[in-house]
Amino acid sequence: MAEKPAEVIAAEEAANEAKRQLEELNAKLADAEKRADDANKKFEMTKTERSEEREKRQKEAEKSLQLEEFKAIQEEKIAEMQLKLTEAESKLTELDPLKEKATQWEAYQEARRSVLLELIPEDRREKFKAAPLDLLEDTVELITGKKPTTFTGGSHTTPPAKPSKWSEMTDDQRAQAGRELPQEELTKLIATG
């Protein structure tokens, strides 16, 4: 075979060199495209992560705000409840003297009931045990034919005559009048002499 001219060989070598360089450039280009693709994926991933992180922080901030609002509402409710408790305790303190009066009244009614029931024949007492006091008094009046006497702490007596003048009153009667009578009536009584 005949030898190739030097120019053809040089052209073939140049073509081979260009082909090799082209392959290198194609490999570098493919590598650059791969790196660019990886960078894009990483960027997208980072973008998604940032978005997720931002949403997470936003949700945490909303939860924190809701928690603060809830705490504020609860503190208001606690303050209202404490105020109501203070008011209730104040009213209970006001009711303490009334409890004593109620206890005294109940004791009076029970003792009065007992005395009135003794005035009713024994075979009829059971019927009237739960009757209101005024009905029991009316019943005793019907049965006995006379108005029941007033009741003073366990015994029954006829009502004492009230003195009409301050000077006729005993010290105990004066003290009782001072406790029980309105100021205007007390002043009139004292003025009578």
Q: Which residue has the higher pLDDT, 83 or 44?
A: 83
What pLDDT does 193 receive?
66
| Strand segments (E) across 34-176 | 150-152, 155-157
157 forms beta bridges with: 150
Distance, CA of 56 to CA of 50 (rounded, Å): 10
Tokens 């105020």 belong to 83
Distance, CA of 181 to CA of 189 (rounded, Å): 10
Mean of pLDDT values over 96-109 = 85
Q: Does residue 157 register a pLDDT over 50?
A: no
Instruction: Take residue 103 and report the two structure tokens written for it.
Output: 């206890």
Q: What is the pLDDT of residues 22-51, one digit of tens each?
A: 999 999 999 999 999 998 888 888 878 888
Give yes or no for a contact between 171 and 163, defined as CB atoms under 8 angstroms apart.
Answer: no
Q: What is the pTM of this model?
A: 0.36
Count of CB atoms situated within 10 Å of the CB of 66: 10
